[in-house]
Structure 1
């Protein structure tokens, strides 16, 4: 009888330990990708364009995970000022990033 209760106690301890060892991060929402976050930041606008505008945006992330636009390569000054005003110093949510890493993203602005 003593051995049976010892088996139950040890089984209980093992089960309790495995319940507390579960990773709670799985229940949290994963961070959106950087390109998805940039799309969201640029989509909230009232910019009206006749033709499709394209731009290549070169930026870095600072220590506060904010976008710092370095250059916007485009033929349209309107697109350049629009992208800079919408993205500059906007905070993004990334789990692993390196401060000062240079990113390039292509942007297409349509009606």
Structure 2
């Protein structure tokens, strides 16, 4: 009988601690990183022959929340220069900046 009372008390403690252990909902960031990059690259003046070009952009964020472009893998030199000029050292608003974390973003230029 004594063991049964210990089990009941333990179950009550676990159930009450589970109720209070709920994590609060974090506010959603206003805009994601990819949306900000899309906005930075939105105004372009590529010719019809250069439209539908693609690139893989590898970058990191520094401690100030700025994009540091590491590489742009593409066949078009114009697209590579465009991406580097538009993104390199541009400040983005992101809540959890992890300095040195590598990001890879596919980029496609359309008309």
Aligned mates of 1:99, 1:56 — CA distance in 2: 20
Tell me which protein shows more helix as a share of its residues: 1
Cα distance between partner residues in 1 of 2:39 and 2:97: 19
Pairing of 1:67-82 with structure 2 (within 5 A): 67-82=67-82
Contact in 1 for aligned 2:29/2:95 (Cα 8 Å): no
Instruction: Calculate the aligned-residue CA RMSD, in Å.
Output: 1.7
Matching residue of 1:99: 99
TM-score of the aligned structures, taking structure 1 as reference length? 0.70
Shift of 1:44: 2.2
State the alpha-carbon separation in 2 of the partners of residues 63 and 100 from structure 1: 9
Q: TM-score, normalised by structure 2?
A: 0.70
The answer for unaligned runs of 5 or more in structure 2 is 1-25
Runs (5+) with no aligned partner, structure 1? 1-24
1:55 corresponds to? 55
